[in-house]
Amino acid sequence: MANLTTVAAIQCSYSKDMQANIDKTIHYVEQAAKQGGQVILAPELFQNLYFCTHQREEWFAQAFPVAEHPCVTQLQSVAKKLKVALPVSIFERDGPNTFNSLAMVDDNGEIMGVYRKSHIPDGPGYQEKYYFRPGDTGFKVWKTRFGTMGVGICWDQWFPECARSMALQGADILFYPTAIGSEPYDDGLDTSKIWQRAMQGHAVSNAMPVVAANRIGMENANGEEQYFYGHSFIADQSGEIVQELVKDQEGVILQSFDFEALKTYRSVWGFFRDRRPDLYQL
């Protein structure tokens, strides 16, 4: 009998109340766990509104060390209680430095490690370089009881090098917590489809599933509205979207995969056999 792993993505709106956001995330983690979810992904920086739309010094007060971060400490107990693994996206403080980070919490409630976002955007509506240093951890994967999990953060999802690096480290599946929506410089631009296609490409070229969790709704963190378009999804190893939430829908999506069978699938396709790293120096 196949040994299946069930993964899940959460999609919902958030507010300026950190505790309310944590409680809401816990609610959906519990809902996903009840449906069989074992590795459950919440959106990027769910602790607050997406505050990086403008440069405001007051938001630095929302950064905490990993082991003291309210999102981490509260979800650790949830993970232990429900026996699920949780990639937890946070605003991290480490001494004088701040990062857009992710703490990987295992099903015993332990922090397995931290990944710091490697690619930091800097443009209208997404002024993250003001808040976050470029990550210094390198790309990471974690061997959980449910399989080996690779996790990038939002802007990382546009870079094939990030996905391939995690695949080369033995990832069984790729997760991307996300906060993406309208582009202030072009109100008519909807990037949701190309956003999905970029990650579907990672699924195809690495022959492994991809999970993306985005927030939804109109937010106003700094005096200007920004809309987040959702479209969270799970794609299988062929890039086919097998589960998806629409733009204004709160909830969870789940999908089961046989990671052992997918190892054979990757070998059959030969993408890793036929790589030519000797030609990739540029």
- The domain that holds 16 is classified in CATH as 3.60.110.10
Residue 282 within any structural domain of the chain:
no
| C-alpha to C-alpha distance for 102 and 245, rounded to whole angstroms | 23
Query: Out of 12, 44, 128, 140, which one is annotated catalytic?
Result: 44
Whether 2 shows a pLDDT value over 90: the answer reads: no
| C-alpha to C-alpha distance for 203 and 210, rounded to whole angstroms | 6
Residue 140 within any structural domain of the chain:
yes
- Domain of residue 81, residue span: 5-274
Residue 261 within any structural domain of the chain:
yes
Sheet of 86-94, strands arranged across: 86-94, 97-105, 111-116
Whether 234 shows a pLDDT value over 70: the answer reads: yes
Model's pTM, two decimal places?
0.97
Residue 20 within any structural domain of the chain:
yes
Q: Tokens 């919902």 correspond to what residue?
A: 12
Residue 279 within any structural domain of the chain:
no
| C-alpha to C-alpha distance for 265 and 76, rounded to whole angstroms | 34
Residue 139 within any structural domain of the chain:
yes
| C-alpha to C-alpha distance for 183 and 89, rounded to whole angstroms | 22
Check residue 1 and give its pLDDT.
Answer: 62
The count of structural domains within the chain is: 1
71 included as an active-site residue = no
End-to-end CA distance of the chain: 45
Query: Out of 12, 52, 71, 154, which one is annotated catalytic?
Result: 154
Query: Out of 117, 128, 140, 162, which one is annotated catalytic?
Result: 117
Check residue 20 and give its pLDDT.
Answer: 98
What's the number of CA atoms in the CB half-sphere (13 Å) around residue 50? 28
Q: Tokens 């979810």 correspond to what residue?
A: 37
117 included as an active-site residue = yes
Whether 10 shows a pLDDT value over 80: the answer reads: yes
Check residue 42 and give its pLDDT.
Answer: 98
44 included as an active-site residue = yes
Say which residues have a Cβ less than 8 Å from residue 16's Cβ, sequence separation at least 6.
48, 49, 221
